[in-house]
Amino acid sequence: MGIDRAEKKSAESVGMLYGIAAYSLWGLFPLYWKRLATVPSVQILMHRVVWAFVMTAILSLALGRWKIMARLFREPRRLAATIAAGFLVTANWGIYIWAVNSGRIIETSLGYYLNPLVSVALGNIVLKERIDKGIIAACVIAAAGIAILTVSYGKLPWVSLTLAGTFALYGLIKKMAGLDALAGLAMETAPVFPFAVAYLVMENAAGRGAFGFVGATETVMLVLAGAVTAVPLLFFAEGVKRVPLSRLGFLQYISPTSQLLLGVFVFGETLSGTRALAFAFILAALLVFALSRRKLSSVR
């Protein structure tokens, strides 16, 4: 019994390290995508899909993971989950790239601030993970922040809400499917890969393709988008297998904090007035959530 508990604790510690690595890398992404601002956002997205698939497929075959990939075709539910995860993460990537290169980095950071709370809600509703008064209070406070933003914009902050929702659902599916990190990412990008290739071919045929026609640095960066995309996702996939979804979601504060600081201090976006008030509510919600988790840990 003691050994099982020690092994579980060790696995969770390793999972937390994977999660920290993933979210730290994601927090620096605006620096990378901003450097590709001369390339249309949809083309950047399609290159992410293409090169992420190529990289993970080659590595999966080289490391003998093809059996894991083949097994999925004999398990319809897991295959469907993998396909759904692929389209969810592609949508998340696309909205994020467009928002970063449209000067909306602060909105992306808000979305990823909200993601832990959405993950907690999904963990409770779908996986029956424990929910308590601290989580409920945090969700209520966060909802107030979203309401303030909605009133100030005159519409729902759809960039923030979509980013939070798509990635929380992606994490949930990854946890439920229990896929190998490397083979899982290859299979997730596989159903989107043909569409991505077709789109890029059409853009090149129409004379709008950026690959090879922008600077050499940008062309190389488009190819490296596969590695840049895959590495943190592989870390995340390893983390989500070892750590409860509600606890892993807490680590996401690393990413939006980095994005928020980059948006304000590096790219000159403004955070004032109503938006600052809304962020204050979101941060207060996260503080309540963090303090309630700490209290629970000390009780246990």
Tens of pLDDT, residue by residue over 13-53, are: 788 888 889 889 988 999 999 999 889 999 999 999 999 99
Q: Cα–Cα distance between 291 and 250 in angstroms, integer?
A: 11
Domain ranges of the chain: 2-299
Quick one: pLDDT band at residue 299, thresholds 50, 70, 90?
A: very low
pLDDT at 250: 65
Which residues in 106-124 are b (16+ Cβ under 10 Å) and which e? bbbbbbbbbbbbbbbbbbb
H-assigned helices in the chain: 2-27, 29-35, 41-62, 66-72, 76-101, 105-125, 133-153, 158-177, 181-189, 193-205, 216-242, 245-250, 254-261, 273-299
* pLDDT confidence of residue 39: 92
pLDDT tier for residue 103 given thresholds of 50, 70 and 90 = confident
Q: Check residue 59 and give its pLDDT.
A: 85
| Nearest Cα to Cα of residue 289 among 252, 256, 241, 243 | 252
Please tell me the distance from the alpha carbon of residue 223 to that of residue 55, in angstroms, as a whole number.
10
Stronger pLDDT, 199 or 142, i.e. the higher one: 199
- Can you tell me whether residue 215 is helix, strand or coil? coil
Please report, as a single letter, which amino acid is at residue 130. R
Query: Quick one: pLDDT band at residue 96, thresholds 50, 70, 90?
Result: very high
Would you place residue 197 in the very low, low, confident or very high pLDDT band (cuts 50, 70, 90)? very high
Residue 163 and residue 96 in contact, taking contact as beta carbons nearer than 8 Å: yes
Residue tagged 């019994």 (tokens): 1
Task: Label residue 293 by pLDDT band (50, 70, 90).
Answer: low
Q: What is the pLDDT of residues 130-187, one digit of tens each?
A: 777 777 888 788 788 878 877 776 777 889 889 989 988 888 887 777 766 777 888 8
How far, in Å, CA of 296 to CA of 273, rounded?
Answer: 35
The amino acid at residue 261 is L
Gyration radius of the chain over CA positions:
20
